Structure 1
Amino acid sequence: MVYASTDGLVLSKQFSNYDELAESVKGWDLDFCQLDAGSSPTGLFQCQTEHSQLNAASLSRRYHQCGSAPTGLTFAFLDEHVKQLNWLNRNVDSTSLLVYRDQGEIDCVSSQGFRVYTLTYDAEMLKQLEEKLHSSSQTGKITRASTALNVDQNLILHIRNHLKHLVSHLQQYPNTLGQASLRNELENEIPRKIIQMLGAGDDKNPIASPRIRSQALKRALEVIDATVQEGISIDALCQYCGVSDRTLDYAFRDRFGKTPAAYIKARRLHKVRYRLKELRGTDIRITDVANGWGFWHMGQFAADYRKYFGELPSETVNGLRASSDMHH
């Protein structure tokens, strides 16, 4: 499957051998050598926009992987089933974050069943985002040399799962690449999480006073009310409120026990639930309602919905849970 539009490119294909994959991938210079005998089916997903590139690749055989990464700063997340990879003459596993500098060298030996997710961003874009976040992460250092980093395992797991959901969704619905909420996730929220994972410096970003936090929270809730359907990035929310990312995060956690992003998601879930109840008895599609409120990965949406409300969206539409409760 190949989808191309003014929003970018989405490619998802299975190949009978590695050579076909190497000919199809965009931006990477790959020269792999298969190390064990037998057929070697491979898989490639690639999503390319003006400011980012997301890839997922799977290899069935052992390979000596050589070549160079794309232009920009590339972050590689090994699938959790990858127990060992010899990377630049160093053994790493899925607990490591691999970072390739601009067009950095690829030299590693992968085992059978290898799978990896990669994200490439312009280094200058990341630097500007760091400055907005008042962060002191390591991106300035890692632009000079490729490296493998030991990072917060909860964050690396969270980002890897996020990438899996993005890949799965875009494979099914490539035409949603232009949705503002999806592009915001890919080009704003995920790089923010990566910067946080690289060690965003709290020492340069003190928490503001209670009075300033209270004022910022009030402004944030006002703008969330006004933009809850189309969405707003956390960066834009901080700019509107005139406070740092850390201050706004602290204010929301202190008041609601949730991050700003989690609070916005909760608000959207409630809006979807209200709309589904309102449309009972019609032929409305749950997918259309969910997409209208910024939920584009239906599997994750259904899981989040059930976690919040104790029932699936379809049960809300059909009134099944309410009907069941009346008979007990």
Structure 2
Amino acid sequence: WGTISLSLDALAAIGITMAGREFTTPEDVTTETPESGTMERLRRLYATAGRLATTAPDILAHPEAARSLEHDLARALAACLEPETNEEDASAKRRHAAIMRRFQALVAASCDRPVYTTDLCAAIGVSDRTLEICCREHLGMSPQKYLRLRRIQRVRRALALADPRSGTVTGIATAHGFWELGRFAGVYRSLYGESPSQTLAADPAKFSESA
């Protein structure tokens, strides 16, 4: 058993940002039964957070790593509370194109700072579900995957340019919002054919030539 506690204001903000509507608070105690897939994701993230707090508290001590985990938990919780809806309508394509122009502009303006879907949804004024639909239409992937790949690219550049005598993979990865370091390392190797530590130890000139 476990609990996730949110203030009423925080719950309302999550509903507006992630689902496009407020999550109303029932007068009486209620029991919700989410779909198995969404509930399983929330349980998995919750368990991972507990393990990190016990075995690697230094990772969660980094503000960006903690914020990234909090963001993922909030999305998983919102998915459990929000029923499936279909927001497509006759003018959806035009509206989605406008949303993606705003999305790309905000992402580009963030430079090397990690950016998350909750921030983008709030800035654009759309729900998490709508942004998901738009990104899958225009990018062929979810906004979370797109932003994660973008952050991994920036980690690679930071690793390649860092001094291996003072820089660490953990420090650079957590600074870019990664808190599941084992999963990060696996994705990194699948993308670049080498481990993050190998990139850190490589000659920066080699990276510049390949980039």
TM-score of the superposed pair, with normalisation by structure 2: 0.76
**1:124: Cα distance to partner?**
4.0
Indicate conservation of the 8 Å contact 1:305/1:311, yes or no.
Answer: yes
**1:175: Cα distance to partner?**
7.3
Unaligned runs of 5+ in 1: 1-115, 320-328
The equivalent of 1:134 in structure 2 is 20
Indicate conservation of the 8 Å contact 2:114/2:177, yes or no.
Answer: yes
Indicate conservation of the 8 Å contact 1:216/1:242, yes or no.
Answer: no
The equivalent of 1:182 in structure 2 is 66
Q: Report the Cα distance in structure 2 between the residues aligned to 1:315 and 1:152, rounded to whole angstroms.
A: 41
RMSD of the alignment, in Å? Answer: 2.9
The equivalent of 1:154 in structure 2 is 37
Output one character per residue of 1:136-165: Cα deviation in whole Å (capped at 9) or x when no partner. 86x644x6224252x222222222222233
**1:283: Cα distance to partner?**
4.3
Q: Report the Cα distance in structure 1 between the residues aligned to 2:111 and 2:158, rounded to whole angstroms.
A: 14
1:78-93 to 2 correspondence within 5 Å? none
Number of equivalent positions: 199
Which residue among 198, 202, 208 is the counterpart of 2:81? 198
Structure exhibiting the larger radius of gyration computed from Cα positions: 1
Task: Give the helix-richer structure, 1 or 2.
Answer: 2
Q: Report the Cα distance in structure 1 between the residues aligned to 2:50 and 2:183, rounded to whole angstroms.
A: 12
1:208-247 to 2 correspondence within 5 Å? 209-227=92-110, 229-247=112-130
The equivalent of 2:196 in structure 1 is 313
Q: Report the Cα distance in structure 2 between the residues aligned to 1:213 and 1:118, rounded to whole angstroms.
A: 36
1:12-31 to 2 correspondence within 5 Å? none
Tell me which of the two structures has the higher relative contact order, counting C-alpha pairs closer than 8 angstroms and 6 or more residues apart. Answer: 2
Unaligned runs of 5+ in 2: 203-211
- CA distance change for structure 1 residues 306 and 158 in 2, over 3 Å: closer, same or farther? farther
- Percent identical across equivalent pairs? 22
**1:201: Cα distance to partner?**
4.9
- CA distance change for structure 1 residues 239 and 280 in 2, over 3 Å: closer, same or farther? same
1:27-66 to 2 correspondence within 5 Å? none
